[in-house]
Amino acid sequence: MTQQRLLDWRWARYAFSLTIPLAVAASFQLEGAWSFAAIGYAFGLLPLLELILVPNGRNLTAAEREAVRLDPRFDAWLWAMIPVQWAMLGWFFWTVSATEWLGVTWWGWVSAMGLLCGVLGINVAHEIGHRPGRKAAWGAYALLLTSFYTHFYVEHNRGHHRNVATEEDPATAQKGEWVWWFWLKSWWGGWWHGLQLEAKRCRRAGRLPWGWHNEVLRWQVVQVGAWGAVFMAFGMEVAVAWWVAGAIGGLLLETVNYIEHYGLKRMKLNAHRYERVEPGHSWNSNHPLGRVVLFELSRHSDHHARPEKPYAQLDHLDDAPQLPTGYPGMMLLSWLPPLYFAVMHPLLKARQ
């Protein structure tokens, strides 16, 4: 196969990420228990397939990496997800307004939209948000707004990447910590720390720390305004449905945070400094379906080693700890904490 055909294939395989919005679209067309089709696909079929498929640890050659770097089609996948997410959200408003409040179908459609909020609304925003410039920031915020998670942009880039694998990072799960408690800790801690980071930046710039120049605070106002606009246009039931879907998306994101650094720690060198972030401070997964659905998020060790590196260029690193299955399956496992500990603690012990 020629290098161009390999490049075309590498680009085309990310079309598999569209199976998530397609599954959500299918859910919106179904009723009753069938309306949970998207959840069944993401947390039933995908984990099952990843138990069967062989992980792929192949890395790009230098020539392939340069070709990927110069090919704009890889970024086009990311930017295309913004109109897809907003179109699906609009469809959700229209669809959920016509079903029984809090009925089975209502929950099926809300959970499907929540899945999309996590996969496109936050995960794709995460990738775009690591690109330089205000255009990328606006793209990330446009997606995060759909999940009411706009604080993530500041906290993730300036907080999590600095404090990862330490007790100072709310998004790093400690050994033995249950995922239910972690959800609350990571959401509240990330939100509050993001506000503080912006307050410090404003003070250094000679501005009011809790004023309009505080980016986290400003986007909270935008979120409330967007929710209020939906309330005025569609009514309370639709506005609440959106809030619940956004909360589900946030919980999915925090579950991913939970598995990405569970039990891993950086050594503290002195009162003010930790050892540098190494591949061994993030769990990695080369399972193929999770990789393409989540735009290589599961190659997380290389992402933390080089946060500016675009998703399509991320490498498998031999010294990174490896998860026993892909992200969808590990998320399911984390929701059963005793079983999760039984699987993960021996892996942690083997690394000591």
Encoded tokens for 132: 């330089």
This prediction has a pTM of: 0.94
Q: Give residue 190's pLDDT.
A: 96
State the CB neighbour count (10 A cutoff) for residue 293: 23
Q: Which residues pair with 198 in a beta bridge?
A: none
Mean pLDDT by runs of 10 across the 352 residues of the chain is 76 95 97 97 96 90 90 95 97 93 95 97 96 95 97 97 95 96 96 96 94 94 97 96 97 97 93 90 95 95 94 93 95 97 96 76
Q: Which residues pair with 284 in a beta bridge?
A: 322
> What is the sign, positive or negative, of the torsion defined by CA atoms of 125, 128, 132, 136?
negative
φ/ψ bin of 202: left (φ > 0), alpha (ψ from -120 to 50), beta (otherwise): alpha
Domain boundaries in the chain? 3-351
State the CB neighbour count (10 A cutoff) for residue 137: 17
Q: In this structure, which amino acid lies at residue 338?
A: P
| Pairwise CA distance, residues 217 & 153, whole Å | 12
| Pairwise CA distance, residues 158 & 119, whole Å | 22
Q: Give residue 6's pLDDT.
A: 77
Q: Give residue 1's pLDDT.
A: 55
Given a contact cutoff of 8 angstroms between Cβ atoms, the answer to whether 282 and 300 are in contact is yes
Q: How far from the centroid of its chain's Cα atoms is residue 77's Cα? A: 16
Dump strand ranges (E) for the chain: 268-270, 273-274
